[in-house]
């Protein structure tokens, strides 16, 4: 039966983890993963999460099936984080949200539904993008192309080329946009640039799929939703995949959501019914635990405030690490200006290191980064930053 089955290529980032785990050198540092670690190098369990979990265990609630679209309070909470509590679109019944298996699950449900709806459309992702975007949309049956994004020369955005590519896309092209904290580059358009992007999306009748996996890691929960709200204000119909994996530090609980803004209440009802079919035939309904915990936090003013403060703590620590990295690379005699790291946002930085420099960093210094030069700034801490900075300065 399996004679003709080929060995699939290893996931590049998970492959890096395996290499890291097998490394016996003390003081090795893994900057390859997309996970937030605290200053002690641990994945935090947030206080708000712990409280919600304790309450859940004490309640000893039964674990029946959830509705296909998940927990109502979870969906309402996720939607309010994106569009605001007083969204006119939500009040008009034009917005629907379903609980999803992480941001990945939200993208997948959306992609499968879109493929039925737009069988001849292409999907465009940024160049570069989160590596799963291409695979996921191709698996759903789409041809996937890219729009220009990162400019290695300026270590910033190639905005003119990006806009030109979007202008050249035919109507109904699905455009995946990182609504904040771009993965892998850390480079985001300015608000003024976003206005121009949104205008092209509207004028060309493109289908925006906003992916927001790091809400709260840029400037704050509300601030980081600005792009979503800009698109909503322009009355654009759109897909939004959101994730609580990072913001709640609940990676393994698979807590995400798919939100769709439809043209009318009736459209929203029909779209939801189709999304429920996609879910039902894939995994029937979402799991209870993570969703209940997140829903409890989102719907309790006390726990919400606690969560927001903890999220701000994570954001501030990442900023501090960015600042220290730039300073320490200089202190260690690094010959290049690294101040672009301060302009990048979220958990990642495209460091500009070449694949050869990344190899040397790993082999000579025990510091692991992705071969593209992407480093996870959220994995730096006061105990490893000197070693990382010295290593980078040495390989530059
Ligand atoms: N989109 C982007 C841009 C991401 O970086 C990630 C996570 N690395 C996801 C989606 C998926 O998030 P989750 O882990 O919640 O599935």
CB-ligand 1 contact for 178 (6 Å cutoff): yes
Q: pLDDT truncated to tens, each residue of the chain (396 aa)?
A: 999 999 988 887 888 999 999 999 999 999 998 999 999 999 999 999 999 999 999 999 899 999 999 999 999 999 999 999 999 999 999 999 999 999 999 999 999 999 999 999 999 999 999 999 999 999 999 999 999 999 999 999 999 999 999 999 999 999 999 999 999 999 999 999 999 999 999 999 999 999 999 999 999 999 999 999 999 999 999 999 999 999 999 999 999 999 999 999 999 999 999 999 999 999 999 999 999 999 999 999 999 999 999 999 999 999 999 999 999 999 999 888 899 999 999 999 999 999 999 999 999 999 999 999 999 999 999 999 999 999 999 998
Q: Is residue 151 among the annotated active site residues? A: no
Alpha carbon of 17 to ligand 1 centroid (Å): 17
DSSP annotation string for 109-177: HHHHHHHHH-TT-EEEEEES--HHHHHHHHHTT-EEEEEE-EETTTTEE-HHHHHHHHHHSPTT-EEEE
Q: Is residue 246 among the annotated active site residues? A: yes
Q: Is residue 307 among the annotated active site residues? A: no
**Geometric angle at alpha carbon 25, from 19 and 30, rounded to 5°:** 50
Alpha carbon of 214 to ligand 1 centroid (Å): 8
User: Domains in the chain, please, with CATH?
Assistant: 12-45+304-395 (3.90.1150.10), 65-287 (3.40.640.10)
Q: Dig out the tokens for 365 from the structure.
A: 């210094």
Given the residues 51, 108, 246, 328, the one annotated as active site: 246
Full strand arrangement of the beta sheet holding 143-148: 95-101, 255-261, 238-243, 207-212, 174-178, 122-127, 143-148
Residue among 70, 41, 106, 91 at smallest CA distance from 288: 70
CB-ligand 1 contact for 215 (6 Å cutoff): no
Asked if residues 279 and 106 have their Cβ atoms less than 8 Å apart, the reply is: no
Nearest-atom index, ligand 1, CA of 106:
16
Q: Would the ipTM clear 0.95, i.e. be above it?
A: yes
pTM (two decimals): 0.97
Cα separation, 190 vs 286, whole angstroms = 36
Q: Dig out the tokens for 314 from the structure.
A: 């994570």
């Amino acid at each position: 039966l399996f004679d003709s089955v080929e060995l699939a290529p290893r996931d590049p980032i998970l492959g890096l983890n395996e290499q890291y785990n097998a490394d016996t050198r003390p003081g090795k540092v893994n900057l390859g993963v997309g996970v937030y670690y605290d200053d002690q190098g641990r994945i935090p369990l947030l206080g708000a999460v712990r409280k919600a979990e304790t309450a859940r265990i004490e309640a000893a609630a039964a674990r029946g099936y959830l509705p296909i679209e998940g927990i109502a309070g979870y969906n309402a909470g996720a939607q309010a984080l994106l569009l605001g509590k007083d969204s006119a679109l939500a009040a008009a019944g034009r917005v629907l949200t379903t609980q999803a298996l992480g941001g990945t699950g939200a993208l997948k449900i959306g992609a499968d539904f879109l493929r039925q709806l737009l069988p001849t459309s292409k999907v465009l992702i940024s160049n570069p993008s989160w590596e799963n975007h291409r695979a996921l949309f191709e698996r759903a049956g789409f041809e996937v192309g890219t729009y220009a994004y990162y400019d290695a020369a300026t270590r910033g955005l190639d905005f003119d080329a990006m806009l030109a590519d979007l202008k050249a896309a035919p109507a109904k092209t699905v455009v995946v946009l990182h609504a904040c904290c771009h993965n892998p580059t850390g480079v985001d358009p300015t608000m003024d640039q976003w206005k121009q992007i949104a205008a092209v999306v509207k004028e060309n009748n493109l289908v925006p799929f906003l992916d927001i996996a790091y809400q709260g890691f840029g400037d704050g929960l509300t601030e980081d939703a600005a792009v979503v709200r800009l698109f909503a204000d322009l009355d654009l119909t759109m897909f939004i995949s959101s994730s609580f994996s990072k913001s709640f530090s609940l990676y393994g609980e698979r807590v995400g959501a798919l939100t769709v803004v439809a043209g009318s209440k009736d459209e929203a009802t029909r779209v939801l019914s189709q999304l429920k079919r996609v879910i039902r035939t894939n995994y029937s309904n979402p799991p209870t635990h993570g969703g209940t915990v997140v829903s409890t936090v989102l719907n309790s003013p006390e726990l919400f405030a606690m969560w927001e403060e903890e999220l701000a703590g994570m954001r501030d620590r990442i900023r501090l690490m960015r600042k220290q990295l730039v300073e320490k690379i200089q202190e260690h005699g690094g010959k290049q200006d690294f101040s672009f790291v301060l302009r990048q946002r979220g958990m990642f930085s495209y460091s500009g290191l070449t694949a050869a420099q990344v190899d040397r960093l790993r082999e000579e210094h025990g510091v692991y980064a992705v071969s593209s030069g992407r480093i996870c700034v959220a994995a730096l801490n006061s105990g490893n930053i000197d070693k990382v900075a010295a290593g980078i300065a040495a390989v530059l």
